[in-house]
Amino acid sequence: MKALLVLEDGKKFIGKSFGSHGEMVGEVVFNTSMMGYQEIITDPSYCEQIVTMTYPQIGNYGVNKKDTESGKIQVSGLIVKEYLDFYSNYRATESLDSYLKKSGIVGLFDIDTRELTRHIRIKGAMKGIISTENFDIDYLISKVEEYPGLTGRDLTKDVSCKKAYIYNKNIKNHKYFVVAVDYGIKTSILKCMSDAGLKVKVVPPHTSAEEILMENPDGIFLSNGPGDPSAVDYAIPEIKKLLNKKPIFGICLGHQLLAIALGAKTFKLKFGHHGGNHPVKNLSTGKIEITAQNHGFNVEMKSLQNIKNIDLEITHMNLNDNTVEGINYKDLNAFSVQYHPEAKPGPDDSKYLFDDFLSLMKNFKLSNKNK
Amino acid sequence: MPKRKDLKKIMIIGSGPIIIGQASEFDYSGTQACKILKEEGYNVVLVNSNPATIMTDPEFSDKTYIEPLIPEFVEKIIKIESPDAILPTMGGQTGLNIAVSLDNMGVLKKYGVELIGASVDAINKAEDRELFKKVMEKIDLYVPPSGYVNNLTDALKIAGKLKYPLVVRPSFTLGGLGGGVAFNKEEFVDTVTRGLDLSPVNQVLIEKSVAGWKEFELEVMRDKNDNVVIVCSIENFDPMGVHTGDSITVAPAQTLTNYEYQIMRNAGLKIIREIGVETGGSNIQFAINPENGKLAVIEMNPRVSRSSALASKATGFPIAKIATKLAIGYTLDEIPNDITKKTPACFEPSIDYVVVKFPRWSFEKFPNTDASLTTRMKSVGESMAIGRTFKEALQKSIRSLEIDRYGLGCDGRDSIIEENISQMLAIPNQDRLFYIKHSIENGDTIENIFDYTKIDPWFLENIKQLVDFEKTFKEKTIKNISEDEIREAKKLGYSDIQLAYLLRCSEEDIRYFRKKTGIKAVFKTVDTCAAEFEAYTPYYYSTYEDENEIADSIKKKIVILGSGPNRIGQGIEFDYCCVHASFALRNEGFETIMINCNPETVSTDYDTSDRLYFEPLTFEDVMNVIEDEKPFGVIVQFGGQTPLKLAKKLLDAGVNILGTSPDNIDIAEDRKRFGSILDCLKIPQPENGTALAVSEAKLIAEKIGYPLLVRPSYVLGGRAMVIVYNEENLINYVENAFKVSPGFPVLIDKFLEQATEVDVDAIFDGEEIFIGGIMEHIEEAGIHSGDSACVIPPFALSPGTIDIIKDYTFKIAKALNVIGLINIQYAVKNSVVYVLEANPRASRTVPFVSKSIKVPLAKVASLVMSGKKLKDIDFKRVDSNKLDYFSIKEAVLPFSRFPGTDTILGPEMKSTGEVMGIDKNFGVAFAKSQLAVNQKFPQSGTVFFSVKDRDKNDIASLARKISNLGFNIITTKGTGDFLERMGIKCDRVLKIREGRPNVLDLLKNGEIDLIINTPEGSEARSDGYYLRTAASVLNIPCITTISGASAAIQGIYELKINSNINVKAIQDY
């Protein structure tokens, strides 16, 4: 069945539809991971984005119960080169097509995804619409124009929990207790923390600093999430209040919010980093990690250099474009990374960061005892 | 950290001749290594016995030793050169084995040479299977249960514990040589015995079979700072049980979730760290149980490999180049990615296409051998294709093979034997894919086919989709087909030829339809990053989509057509010529465009030409490029038969063919037209005739007289040439040929017995000729020139004969209007020079001649083809006949891979590669060439003689000579009686049919060290057959011609009296 993608600059791609039918607007981005489509489409950070997989064959291993990052599909649409309605994997329970259908998500295939990717690379990520019913270009463009896009938008409330909960109630002999602020947290981050021996209480994004500190956690985690960090202004004063009270670890949006709280600025990348092969250099060890990335905004290097009152250290750099990937606020017992140590999908090279979080909590506890 | 400054001189070990399991991929890696080390300012010493390699071109190293790749010779070179380090990881298993031997011999220590790239410890941990197993268990990785034995008794004990089927893997052999899967005790005993024999350390691993599990490979790289990246994942279409060299493979992995892939990736990281490969690349093989995802580690190669060459071509990430940089101290983040320029090499390529590699086999050359595919590699080459989907890439890979198939069937060329279907599905073989498709066509289910083949259902489903698509064309013709349907077909990878078959029209009709409707191929870039960054390297593949990425260029362009997959008869020599053409023409200011589909080669390195198109070499695929690029001209002379076959069609399509015109190429191929030219020039050729019926053949035979050389006409491809000695043989042959191909003539030539064969390579520019080399064959005429040893300068031809040959060469080149290279084969008998054939194109011997005379013939020829005159080209006019040293080319034969095949040489080529021996002394040069092909001539012991009556007169002097060297002689009765009459003492032994113990028993008991056996005609299953096949399995030298024996005995003589053979770099000759 025919389906159409129209971009805000008027470029259109005609293909076929899979998954659900209808119209979907969103920001069109591309992801270069060659596998892990199920994790990608269920990652809350992709909220309101239409994801183009650059790898041309998607759906090969179906969908299973375990490889989900949030329990539901988060992307607004999925674009692939070839969708073959057949899967083969011992863990698979259904096809990607039926998975999309159940969530009412539209898929588009049989377009020149490489052309689309090059277009986005050259022109930048842009708004677009997938339609399977109405093919009137003027109408579709007007719909795209109506769509506000991601810049300046706070999307955290749409993808985060409404009520606090304990992720791993049954964990035995946990080492520390952590409160994780959910701006759209990926399940695998929770799993990584749990595997590292942390008991995790997940709280909604609007939870106040006081409420968090009332839990008396050993550490606080600021999660990933969708949209423009500069729009998540409600979080900034709360984070400021948490500083220096407890050890803090932030990933992705959490990393950006932490930086903003300390006076840094963020900017929108031309087409973002979405993939599983970005080299990140750990500046303290000199070692390279191959990392999973998913962000459209980034902390501005210059704005960090302008922060004079805090002892901060840029700990990680992206070797492809020299953007900031990690910051350590030593005096504040806080650190954060832009990329995804939990991977999913992507390499596990950076899992040590969860251990670093543990060490930080341990040292914090020790030094407090000594005081 | 910058490169190491403590090293000044680095030695690279090449991989030697092209053999099954070790082919031109190591020329690709070695050439890259030489280039990098030179660029980085190191003094480079190279040793490799294979002259047909780019890396042995004198400009790639400071010192190039074309010497046997055996530790004793490498030690001699180390003694002369005293390098600071050896890079052993570029030369395949050969390179590693030599490095380990040098270490064991204490040579490295003695001369203070460091191994870079991989330490002996790491090599041993990876290569010694027992050690490897222990290391894997230490890091909690599962290895199939196994045991490691040195004899059959222990092997049987282990077999008792593990259940059949069992895999037998000999230690330290390459390409799984000597290994195999045993399903029962009988097979087990056979395989273990052979494996123990072939392993240089007499060890085999007996392993529980995981046949049927999914098979994967990872290409892993690590630098000295412990940064590790995975360059590429590869999934084998054929599950475990088939050697990866014999498997269809796909990159990247298709059927793994991120969860499973990361488990494998993490295992890869752990393995390379634990084995301790500190600076370089490794290939790791895994198996995954499709039922529960259990991961098993199969093996690791701590070096560049066939798969790493494939991965480099598949991703654009040059593994050998980066591995070399790591070995000299760089770290991954310090090395830029050539393709994006802006990003570092420290990343994991993301690709946005599918790559399929398809092996190419040559079973037709080895009758009587088991043609099933096992853990022992049997393919001789491979094609690679890139498409946007698996289906497209698969179809392209098949038509890249040049097996006269233009995709996955659908061409009317299926030869399915219905009653064999289940067997053909269950036992892996070269036609299995076609049987799978046939079964799906017949309605068999994916589940059922999976049960037989264990091929992942996802792959099978893709084949089913092709079948389903073809059904929609059933009722259609070219008249009522729609544009959309044709476009859809092209997206699925169908060639015009396949569509013509489906729509019952001609290829031209489809082509016309496509032109009219604007359905044309577009080209996409291989950029390592799935378009995330801009690519600066013009490496392209075709597909049917919307956007074309080819940028215009104003330079004058020349397209060079490559030679496709390696096969017997067309190998690295032709790639060598294509690469030279590209180098020379680039240097001349042309923009060179390479089209080829062989991932093992230097020509498909994106650095070699200005633009690289990884495409099948069919008319349609080549025209796609030509129509887009609009080159000034196309070179078809350098890639062997592959491009030549296209010449006429390209010309008809308006393409400018550079050099000798296709019509003149055709004259040389057409014996009638060529014959009349020779008549005009008064140049003799052996008497001949063309027969269309048995009676005609008999008449011709009566006229010319036996023996005769007979072959099917060139329409069939020139295969299956034989020599017949009597009418009975002739009739048998001719009757069979007419039965197989009715209507096609049989060509009959007088066979010049005991004539000397001579090969000439020359360049002609229309006026002037440059004769590169006159090569005298060591074996007499009748042995395919590719299989016979030859020498420059000639050692027995008279000056008068040489003058006649020069004169004829000029006359023929002129008469054929040659522009560029010409190769002519002559036979000299009783001082008369006969022309056997002329080929106005690059020949197999061009690299050998170029190395011998140190003039790059192919470069000069390509300049001539671009319009220059010889007098305007700057090169040394070497007279090869006046050289004061001998260069000997020897062929390498693959018989040990094909047990059961007779090893007798004949007019049909069987060798896979060649070596060169070079020395001032003829005997020493010959001995070197023999050592280089691993033919270890005995220094003492027993020689067995059994020769046909016609040869008896020639053996007396040979026997006397070898007897004087202290050898015992043992013979059969006839030969023995003759020798005794000549006063030579010899022992007797029974022929096989005469009773026991017979000669075969002696051979098997190790009581014979050298066999000289010249066969009587081609009677299958004669004594000679059993003897030769046994010798091949036991690796006992067996010489089947008198002249070969004569050279061998001279070599043995030189080795004995001149035990200290010298080595010398070709730069110093």
Q: How confident is the model at residue B539, as a pLDDT?
A: 96
Q: For residues A129 and A12, what is the distance between their CA atoms, to the nearest angstrom? A: 10
Q: Write out the two tokens for B781.
A: 């005429």
A246 in any annotated domain: yes
Answer whether residue B716 shows pLDDT above 50: no
Interfacial B residues in 82-111 facing A (CB < 8 Å): none
Tell me whether residue B968 is exposed, middle or buried, using C-beta atoms within 10 angstroms of its C-beta: 0 to 12, 13 to 18, 19 or more: middle
- Which CATH number covers residue A43? 3.50.30.20
Question: Which of A94, A123, A146 finishes a domain?
Answer: A146
Q: Are A164 and A203 in contact (CB under 8 A)?
A: yes
The 10s digit of each residue's pLDDT in B208-262 is: 889 899 999 999 999 999 999 999 999 999 999 999 999 999 999 999 999 999 9
Collect all residues of chain A within an 8 Å Cβ-Cβ radius of residue B226: 287
Q: How confident is the model at residue B715, as a pLDDT?
A: 41
Q: How confident is the model at residue B174, as a pLDDT?
A: 66
Question: Omega of the bond prior to B997 within 30 degrees of 0, cis?
Answer: yes
Interfacial B residues in 170-199 facing A (CB < 8 Å): none
What's the DSSP call for residue B59? G
Mapped onto helix, strand or coil, the DSSP state of residue B595 is: strand
Tell me whether residue B682 is exposed, middle or buried, using C-beta atoms within 10 angstroms of its C-beta: 0 to 12, 13 to 18, 19 or more: exposed
A244 in any annotated domain: yes
Q: For residues A325 and B701, what is the distance between their CA atoms, to the nearest angstrom? A: 83
Range of the domain at A41: 2-146
Residue B391 phi, psi dihedral angles, 5° rounding: -60, -45
What's the DSSP call for residue A160? S
The 10s digit of each residue's pLDDT in A126-153 is: 999 999 999 999 999 999 999 999 999 9
Q: What is the mean pLDDT of residues B18-34?
A: 95
Given CB atoms, is B445 within the 8 Å cutoff of chain A?
no
B259, B465, B547 member nearest A115 (Cβ): B547
Residue environment code for B442-480, b if the CB has 16+ CB neighbours within 10 A, otherwise e: eebebeebbebbbbbbbbbbbbbbbbebbeebeeeebee
Distances B33 to B26, B228, B245 between C-alpha atoms, Å: 10, 20, 23
End-to-end CA distance of chain B: 40
Q: How confident is the model at residue B898, as a pLDDT?
A: 83
Q: What is the mean pLDDT of residues B63-87?
A: 97
Given CB atoms, is A286 within the 8 Å cutoff of chain B?
yes
A60, A278, A343 member nearest B458 (Cβ): A60
A81 in any annotated domain: yes
Same domain, A109 and A239: no
Unique residue bearing structure tokens 């005991």 = B754
Same domain, A223 and A314: yes
The 10s digit of each residue's pLDDT in B387-399 is: 999 999 999 999 9
- Which CATH number covers residue A176? 3.40.50.880
Residue environment code for B7-29, b if the CB has 16+ CB neighbours within 10 A, otherwise e: bebbbbbbbbbbbbbbbbbbbbb
Unique residue bearing structure tokens 């729009």 = A231
Mapped onto helix, strand or coil, the DSSP state of residue B1040 is: coil
- B530 and A281 within 8 Å at the Cβ level: the answer is no
Distances A79 to A53, A76, A129, A213, B490 between C-alpha atoms, Å: 6, 10, 11, 43, 21
Same domain, A97 and A133: yes
Sign of CA dihedral B783, B786, B788, B791: positive
Same domain, A81 and A212: no
A204 in any annotated domain: yes
Q: Are A274 and A32 in contact (CB under 8 A)?
A: yes
The 10s digit of each residue's pLDDT in B325-371 is: 999 999 999 999 999 999 999 999 999 999 999 999 999 888 778 88
ipTM associated with this complex: 0.97
> Residue type for B774, please?
I
Same domain, A163 and A305: yes
Q: How confident is the model at residue A52, as a pLDDT?
A: 98
B347, B352, B465 member nearest A278 (Cβ): B347
- A288 and B333 within 8 Å at the Cβ level: the answer is yes
Given CB atoms, is A121 within the 8 Å cutoff of chain B?
yes
Number of domains, chain A: 2
Please identify every residue of A annotated as catalytic. Answer: 252, 340, 342
A151 in any annotated domain: no
Answer whether residue B719 shows pLDDT above 70: no
Same domain, A260 and A348: yes
The 10s digit of each residue's pLDDT in B431-465 is: 999 999 999 999 999 999 999 999 999 999 999 99
DSSP B189-234: HHHHHHHHHHSTT--EEEEE--TTSEEEEEEEEE-TT--EEEEEEE
Q: How confident is the model at residue B995, as a pLDDT?
A: 85
Same domain, A133 and A208: no
The 10s digit of each residue's pLDDT in B143-163 is: 998 888 999 999 999 998 888
Question: Which of A146, A176, A195 finishes a domain?
Answer: A146
What percentage of chain B exceeds 70 in pLDDT? 98
The 10s digit of each residue's pLDDT in A42-55 is: 999 999 999 999 99
Interfacial B residues in 251-270 facing A (CB < 8 Å): 252-259, 261-262, 265-266
> Residue type for B893, please?
L
> Which chain A residue has its CA at the smallest distance from B349's CA?
A277
Q: What is the mean pLDDT of residues B469-486?
A: 95
Q: Are B730 and B698 in contact (CB under 8 A)?
A: yes
Collect all residues of chain B within an 8 Å Cβ-Cβ radius of residue A343: 258, 262
Residue A219 pLDDT class (50, 70, 90 cuts): very high
User: Of A283-292, B48-57, B707-716, where does mean pLDDT reach its minimum?
Assistant: B707-716
Q: For residues A67 and B367, what is the distance between their CA atoms, to the nearest angstrom? A: 52
Residue environment code for A226-257, b if the CB has 16+ CB neighbours within 10 A, otherwise e: bbbbbebeebbebbeebbeebbbbbbbbbbbb
| Helical (H) or strand (E) element with B942 | strand B942-946
Question: Which of A146, A171, A190 finishes a domain?
Answer: A146
Residue B1012 phi, psi dihedral angles, 5° rounding: -120, 105
Collect all residues of chain B within an 8 Å Cβ-Cβ radius of residue A34: 252, 350-351
User: Of A178-187, B861-870, B904-913, where does mean pLDDT reach its minimum?
Assistant: B904-913
Same domain, A183 and A104: no
Mapped onto helix, strand or coil, the DSSP state of residue A108 is: strand
Same domain, A86 and A169: no
Answer whether residue B82 shows pLDDT above 50: yes
- A54 and B530 within 8 Å at the Cβ level: the answer is yes
Interfacial B residues in 315-334 facing A (CB < 8 Å): 332-333
Unique residue bearing structure tokens 């090569």 = B775
Same domain, A139 and A162: no
The 10s digit of each residue's pLDDT in B565-600 is: 999 989 999 999 999 999 999 999 999 999 999 999
Same domain, A323 and A220: yes
User: How does the average pLDDT of chain B come out, rounded?
Assistant: 92
Answer whether residue B1060 shows pLDDT above 80: no
Residue B1020 pLDDT class (50, 70, 90 cuts): very low
Mapped onto helix, strand or coil, the DSSP state of residue B614 is: strand
- B259 and A66 within 8 Å at the Cβ level: the answer is yes
Q: How confident is the model at residue B1, as a pLDDT?
A: 61
Interfacial A residues in 19-58 facing B (CB < 8 Å): 30, 32-36, 38-39, 54-57
A205 in any annotated domain: yes
Unique residue bearing structure tokens 């004539």 = B755
A305 in any annotated domain: yes
Answer whether residue B853 shows pLDDT above 80: yes
Interfacial B residues in 523-552 facing A (CB < 8 Å): 524, 529-534, 545-547, 549
Q: For residues B43 and B524, what is the distance between their CA atoms, to the nearest angstrom? A: 39
Collect all residues of chain B within an 8 Å Cβ-Cβ radius of residue A114: 352, 388, 524, 530-531, 545, 547
pTM listed for this prediction: 0.95
- B546 and A115 within 8 Å at the Cβ level: the answer is yes
Collect all residues of chain A within an 8 Å Cβ-Cβ radius of residue B341: none
Alpha carbon of A360: minimum distance to chain B alpha carbons (Å)? 25
A317 in any annotated domain: yes
A61, A82, A111 member nearest B255 (Cβ): A61
- Give B1029 or B380, the one with higher predicted confidence: B380
Q: For residues B983 and A130, what is the distance between their CA atoms, to the nearest angstrom? A: 96
Q: How confident is the model at residue B996, as a pLDDT?
A: 85
Same domain, A318 and A357: yes
Find the length of chain B. 1069
Q: For residues A248 and A255, what is the distance between their CA atoms, to the nearest angstrom? A: 10
